[in-house]
Amino acid sequence: MNHHADALTTHVLTRPEHAFVRSLQEIPMFRLINHALGNMNVRFKLSLGFGLVLLLTLIITLTGWHGLYTMIDRSESLSDIAQLNSLTKDLRAERITDRVEKTPESTALVTDKLNEMKAQLTALHRQSLEAETITLLNGQFETVSRLEKTFADVRANRQTRNQVRTRLEQTSEQALQAIALVESEVLKSVSQEQDSTERMEEFTNISQLRQQVQIARYQVQAYTFTTRDADEAAAIVAIDEALKEIGQIGQDEDSESLRGLGAATTALQGYRERLNEFKQIQTKAEADQELMRSLGDQLLDSVAALNRLQTAQRDSEAVNSSTTLSSVAGLALLVGLLAAWVMTRQITVPLQQTLLVAARIAQGDLSRDMSVTRRDEMGQLQGSMQTMTVSLRELVGGISEGVSQIASAAEQLSAVTKQTCIGVTSQKDETDQVATAMNEMAATVQEVARNAQEASQAAAQADQQARSGDEVVGRAISQIEQLAREVVNSTQSMSELKLESNKIVGVLDVIKSVSQQTNLL
């Protein structure tokens, strides 16, 4: 039975994929899956096949969604980085503006930009997962923190510088007041003393000193507003010239009125010290500004590096998403084709086997059996076909035995028919002879009757003479008439027998024909 089933399967698999199917059947997992599917009903197989197609479609869709959302997230990160880059440039512009204007409004704008940058970095840090990105963001956090600290130092230096500028103004005002007081004293002396050439010279020198201090004051003011080195040098030269002028006046003149120049000297010396202090503060402010510029450049470079990193990661993720989607689609196509092929074979192969069995049965070949190992609808159909084959085989076997018996009986019946036919023929001949004899007997009887009638007439004539023979003659006539009636009845019976014999011959012909047809079977 298994040999026939293997031969059947080989006939079905005589196709280009025969070698491939054989190689798959050597895989234990494939045999296990094939066996498990063979025991499932067709509805479950179709549901499993369509469910697998839907699952593969869902996997492809989810893979595409994941890649799309990844690209969207990366694009949002690049947008945030671009905004961070814009904030960094805005910070530089606001810092330069604040450096020039030095107003509370410009300072507030710089502070706002720093706060916006911190918020933007926090958002980027929260949505970033890559270690390299987090490292860059941490460095940017540190840079922004240093910018905040440096800008706080700049604001503190600015306040200190404003205070020093105020003290410079106060000190220069003190020096001018002291000189003006001396100048008024000298002018008073000039007005009291006539033809006082020395007093006029003192007055002229003090007036020049006041102008020199005024020049020094203007130079210092120019330096404190422009912070240029040339203005600083001019201011220092002007202060030194004023101090030198005071010293020269003190050496040349020795009057009571010139003693007030000591206060001016002290004020100018303090003025010079305040200028040095302002220079130190300005140097520190310049260093802080330079540090902020350097930190801004560093932040721009870091943002550019972060942008390049995110762009590279976006491109890499795009390639990975495309590769993953292509791989998943290819795998899904392969699995779908394999599943469709397996599902098709689960239905078509047993159906083809069943069709071959049905074709053999239709051709009258009931000698082969089918091995049924499946429990699905195809297996049930194959089992029914196998049961039908066995039943037909038994039925044909019984019919063959019956035909043999019928043939034997037909032969015997043919022999009996022949014998009956011979007997009937002989009986027909004998009946014909009997009929002929009866006809002759009837003629004889009729002749006897005539003779008897003649004898009766003769007897009637001889009645008188043979009264003693009247009774004998009457009985003879009665017997003769009875014999005539019997002969007529016998003639009718022979006719009926002839008809019945003809019917028997017809029946025997039918039996002979049936026997011949049975012999053909």
The type of residue at 3 is: H
Q: Which residues of the chain have pLDDT under 50?
A: 1-14, 521
Between CA 276 and CA 223 the distance in angstroms is 12
Note every long-range contact of 347-350, with CB atoms under 8 Å and residues 24 or more positions apart, other chains counting. Answer: 347/42, 347/45, 347/378, 349/9, 349/12, 349/13, 350/374, 350/378, 350/379, 350/381, 350/382
pLDDT of residue 310: 82
Q: Where are the alpha helices (DSSP H) in 102-196?
A: 104-127, 131-192
Between CA 31 and CA 342 the distance in angstroms is 11
Spatial contact of 238 and 212, defined as CB atoms under 8 Å apart: yes
Q: Where are the alpha helices (DSSP H) in 363-376?
A: none
**164 C-beta neighbours (distance < 10 Å), count:** 21
- Tokens describing residue 361: 């049965």
Q: Which secondary structure element, helix H or strand E, spans residue 489, and what is its range?
A: helix 470-520
Between CA 220 and CA 227 the distance in angstroms is 9
Q: Which of 114, 113, 92, 94 is nearest to 102 (CA)?
A: 94
- Tokens describing residue 339: 């599943």
CA separation, residue 378 to residues 15, 32, 114, 208, 349 (Å): 21, 18, 77, 128, 9
Longest CA span, the chain: 259
Please return the burial class of 73, using the count of CB atoms within 10 Å of its CB with bins 0-12, 13-18 and 19+. middle
Between CA 360 and CA 363 the distance in angstroms is 5
pLDDT of residue 432: 67
Instruction: Give one word for 102, left, alpha or beta, with left for phi > 0 and alpha for psi -120 to 50.
Output: left
pLDDT of residue 13: 47
Our measurement of the distance from residue 428's CA atom to the centroid of its chain's CA atoms, rounded to an integer in Å, reads 99
Instruction: Calculate ∠ Cα 503-505-511, nearest 5°.
Output: 105
CA separation, residue 389 to residues 99, 364, 463 (Å): 107, 10, 98
Please provide the DSSP assignment of 218-262 as one string: HHHHHHHHH--HHHHHHHHHHHHHHHHHHHHHHHH---GGGGGHH
Spatial contact of 239 and 220, defined as CB atoms under 8 Å apart: yes
State pLDDT tens for residues 304-324: 898 888 888 888 878 888 888
pLDDT of residue 66: 82
